Amino acid sequence: MCGIIGYIGKKEALPILIKGLRRLEYRGYDSAGVAIIEDSNIKRIRSVGRIDNLADKIKNEKFTGHVGIAHTRWATHGGVTEENAHPHFGCDEKLVIVHNGIIENYREIKEMLGNKHTFKTETDTEILAHLIENNYTGDLRLAVEKSLTMVRGTYALVAMHSDHPDTIVAARLGSPLVVGVNTDNGHDEYFIASDASPILSYTKKVIFLDDNEVLEISGGKMNTFNIKDEIVQKNIEEIEWDEAEAQKQGFPHFMLKEIFDQPRVFVDAIRGRYDLKNGISFLGGINMTEEEMHSVNKIILIACGTASYAGMVGKYAFERLAGIPTTVEVSSEFRYSDPIVDDKTLVFVLSQSGETADTLAALREAKRKGAFVRGVVNVVGSTIARETDGGTYIHAGPELAVASTKAYTNTVAVLLLYALQFGRLKRTSLATGERILKALLEIPEKMTKILEQSDKIKVIAEKYKNTKNMMFIGRGVNYPVALEGALKLKEISYVHADAFPGGELKHGHIALLSTDFPIFAIMTKNQLYDKMRSNVEEIKARKAPVILIATEGDVGTKDLSEDIIYVPETMELLEPLLNSVALQLFAYHTAVTLGRDVDRPRNLAKSVTVE
Ligand code: F6R
């Protein structure tokens, strides 16, 4: 949700900023802009649309400055216009800022600033720029600090002032900021960004700003301050991801690359976290004594979107293996509900980005109520990872396509390991534990078998490309798979799709069926196979086209559909790890066939850091 990059060092800032914006484009991409200090003036250029538009506009300009900030926008306040694009100036165009987040009391601030200031845009950010300008008496950091005490809302903010050409000031509350520190071997440069991806080609050494901290880099020195303007000691951390991992590596889209990453990164999710001989898994991140684990009488999995569907798979696993009542709550609902949570409740917050605003708020609510709160997160050092009292990284590597794929499967993998960990403490036998682990170890090879069918799935996607609506059905553990399949399809291809448990069809939804309303049914061989088959027969009787996911060798499916994707057999609880891969490929190929912008679908952003 908006991408920020800032640079201060000895190199020319512009190429670094433009390259950085390209890496951050997945966070928002309706407009972009850059501002650089040139000979004690600030030069700014902005453009509507993708970074390519901005790069085009800039190509005949001369920028030589070594300090600059840039932004790629996902509009919240004010339409998508060049005027509303960041960076934003104060009145005298000496102070400039980029901002991610929402200033809730921007109207009050605007009123307070009154006629002294002239506003040119509809954005909350411009008002923040004027507020800082108003509070500026010669020290940029102090002006930022003072202004932030007057602001209600969330922000990641980076500011520059032409009176201080060797200074950048940044601050965060609720929206992430990472600072790359490259001061070895004669380098003397710092990068400030919304996440580490634009920094990795220069340095892996970073600090993560925390809420209510203000950073000042001035004259080659970096200091972090708290809200009382006291210096805070920050640890420099080392990021594990390398740059190559964040590239497309020959795939036409990040999404396809990330789908194909799955067999490899799945191994990273489970490596070193189980003992096959004893049929156990051990995730140290649970950070609970055995006694505390035994005391847990309720589990709540909190997440949004795809992460919540991964959570629904986790629910089946916790209940089946550990016998602990488990619910899945959508973060935006949880935070405003009256959750029944106490010190025997274990809450897992699930988030690829680790920055989703609603999930973060839900986490804080659960902590306030005294639950054990643990994270299952992909982005290392993200806010959710830091605010939970334990938890586990899913090790999916950078996920840059807006549609989540490998983070889903790796979240499911980690939840299965947690369920087994609790299960073996409670009621799961050694033999079952061993069977689950063996089945998990076979997953990468089985995923590969599905990936090898990509071209076949493409043919099916092309056949149905003119479909306006599609329904996905599944039962048991494949119901969340159906939900995820429908979400994937709608978000990247814009084909309307819904999902229901197969048994629900007769209770209303079946009225929609017709010859031009295809149904995607997940009918793999498990304990609900016969039930699901009856549901598919009912659909066939209404002459609606059926696409099937079926288990390899299930020849009895041939009379039900011409379009069948066969997947290898696995244990029922693990089926989502395979079936979802087939649905990801179906959504991907549909979107490509329809000429959609697969990695950056309209209206969406990767990391939803606003409520
Ligand atoms: C869908 C998708 C979203 C995210 C959701 C939560 O493909 O990516 O539904 O799953 O916005 O995001 P995280 O996991 O970052 O909290």
**Cα–Cα distance measured from residue 121 to residue 117, given in angstroms and rounded to the nearest whole number:** 12
Determine the distance separating the centroid of ligand 1 and the alpha carbon of 354, expressed in angstroms.
10
Q: To the nearest whole number, what is the mean pLDDT of the chain?
A: 94
The distance from CA 309 to its chain's CA centroid, rounded to whole angstroms, is: 14
Residue type, 113: L
Q: Is the CB of 305 under 6 A from ligand 1?
A: yes
Q: Mean pLDDT, to the nearest integer, of 163-185?
A: 93
Residue 58 Cα, ligand 1 centroid: separation in angstroms? 33
Cβ burial, residue 453 (10 Å; 0-12/13-18/19+): middle
pLDDT value, residue 254: 94
Span 144-156, average pLDDT: 93
Written as six digits, the tokens of 540 are: 């066939």
Give the per-residue pLDDT at 244.
65
3-239 CATH choice from 3.10.20.600, 3.60.20.10, 1.10.10.10, 3.40.190.170: 3.60.20.10
Pocket of ligand 1 contains residue 608 by CB under 6 Å? yes
- Once rounded to an integer, what is the mean pLDDT over residues 67-94? 90
Is the pLDDT at 20 greater than 70, yes or no? yes
What's the rounded mean pLDDT across residues 483-487? 98
Lowest mean pLDDT of 200-209, 292-301, 402-411, 579-588, name the range.
200-209
Specify the pairing of strand 189-193 against strand 178-182. antiparallel
Give the pLDDT of residue 39: 87
Cα(184) to ligand 1 centroid in Å equals: 37
Return the pLDDT at 68: 98
Task: Label residue 74 by pLDDT band (50, 70, 90).
Answer: confident
Q: Which tokens hold the place of 301? A: 């999995």
Average pLDDT, stretch 131-144?
97
Contact 522, 564 (CB under 8 A): no
Sheet of strand 391-393: strand arrangement: 326-330, 298-303, 345-351, 372-377, 391-393
d(CA 426, CA 429): 9
How sure is the predictor about 607, in pLDDT bands with cuts at 50, 70 and 90?
confident
Mean predicted confidence (pLDDT) in 143-147: 96
Confirm whether 2 is a catalytic residue: yes
Using DSSP's 3-state secondary structure scheme, residue 374 falls into strand
What DSSP string describes 217-245? EETTEEEEE-TTS-EE----EE----TGG
Contact 90, 130 (CB under 8 A): yes
Q: Which pLDDT does position 75 carry in this prediction?
A: 78
The arithmetic mean of pLDDT across residues 119-141, rounded, is: 95
Name the closest-CA residue to atom 7, ligand 1: 403
* Residues whose CB is less than 8 angstroms from the CB of residue 129 and which lie 6 or more positions away in sequence, other chains included: 88, 89, 90, 95, 96, 97, 159
CATH class of 248-448: alpha beta
Cα-flanking dihedrals φ and ψ of residue 3, to 5°? -120, 135
Tokens 């990872």 belong to: 385
Of 412, 35, 354, which is closest to residue 174 (Cα–Cα)?
Answer: 354
Report the pLDDT value the prediction gives residue 154, as an integer from 0 to 100. 86
Tokens of 442: 């076979």
483 pLDDT higher than 70: yes
* pTM, to two decimals: 0.81
* CATH topology classification for 453-611: Rossmann fold (3.40.50)
Domains of the chain: which residue ranges?
3-239, 248-448, 453-611
Whether 306 lines ligand 1, by a CB cut-off of 6 Å, is: yes
Domain 453-611 in the same topology as domain 248-448: yes
Mean pLDDT of 556-578: 96
